[in-house]
Every structure is written in C-alpha cells, then in structure tokens.
Amino acid sequence: MGGCADMDDKPATRTAGPDSRALSLPEYLPYRLSVVSNKASGLIARAYQARFGLTIQEWRIIAVLGAGAALTAQGLCEATAMDKVTVSRAVRRLDTRGLVTRRPNPSDKRASDITLTGEGEAIYAEVAPLALQYEQAMVDELTRAERDQLMTLLAKLEARLDKGGLS
C-alpha cells in the first residue's frame, strides 16, 4: 500500500542524556506544531477558498481586522506572524477585491491604516462563525481542562519565542 506512513509506525529513538539524544522527528516539538498547524490550516483553508475565494493569509488579515481596529501593514505583520511581503500581497489582493481600504496613517505618512470595507465585514461576519465551528470540531475530544491547559502551554511557548534567542 502506498502513501505516507503514520508518525506512530516506528518507535522513537531516544538515548539517555541531553547531548546524546537522537532526533526523533515525530517527537520533535517544532515539527509536531508545524504538522498540526498545517493540517488545521489546510482543512479550514479549503472551506474559505471554496466558499469565499480567500487564501489562508487573506483570511488571517480579515480575521485580525474584524476586531474593528485599523492597522498598518506592520501591525498586521505583528498580529498575524506573517512576513511583510506576504502581508503586502494579501492586502493588495483584498484591496483589489474591495474587501479592505487603505488610508494614510496620520502619525506616519509612509504607512497606511487598513480597515475592512462593508463587504469585508460581511465576509468576516459569515466566516468567523465557520472558523469557530472548525475550532470546536478540532477540540471536541479534549476536556475543558485540557483545552485550557493547551492554551496556557501555547501561550508559554509563544512568550518564550517572543523573547528572541533560545539559548
């Protein structure tokens, strides 16, 4: 039978001691986070793409702007953890579709304040409940305590990574 093997097909190879530990990709946290993120984003992205013609990056921008505050491209980069080029391209596509508007930022003439248009807000209002349904389906088998613990652990990891270096 062809296809990809499950991560559980082979036992993890680990040895004692922090310096002698072998890398086991299925147990390597950055890899596992990436796999889960890609699977979740891919599943949800198919629904956004089919129903609204949105990429993952465009949806993230709409979701952030859906909170109501105008943001600059730099603010969107920070809020979405996407790079400048990705944000710029996504904003350009959303602007072309009439889903966002850009106005000069009064305190920084080089920047623009980006907000959702009425059409962008309508898409947000329709997509946000769908996103919450997908999230609920993802965590259905977790208890409330497990969900809370997962969010706490993710927040700790993110805070650690926000500090910069890992050494």
Q: What does the domain layout of the chain look like in residue ranges?
A: 29-161
Helix (H/G/I), strand (E/B), else coil: 122: helix
Q: Mean per-residue pLDDT for 118-127?
A: 94
Banded pLDDT at 130 (limits 50, 70, 90): confident
Banded pLDDT at 44 (limits 50, 70, 90): confident
Residue 15: phi, psi to the nearest 5?
Answer: -125, 165
The pTM for the full model equals 0.76
Question: What percent of the chain is helix, strand and coil (3-state, nearest 5)?
Answer: 60, 10, 30
Banded pLDDT at 3 (limits 50, 70, 90): very low
User: What is the CATH architecture of 29-161?
Assistant: Orthogonal Bundle (1.10)
Q: Is the pLDDT of residue 19 over 70?
A: no
Q: Mean per-residue pLDDT for 38-46?
A: 84
Nearest to 48 by CA among 135, 117, 123: 123
Helix (H/G/I), strand (E/B), else coil: 33: helix
Evaluate whether 64 touches 76 at the Cβ level (below 8 Å). Answer: yes
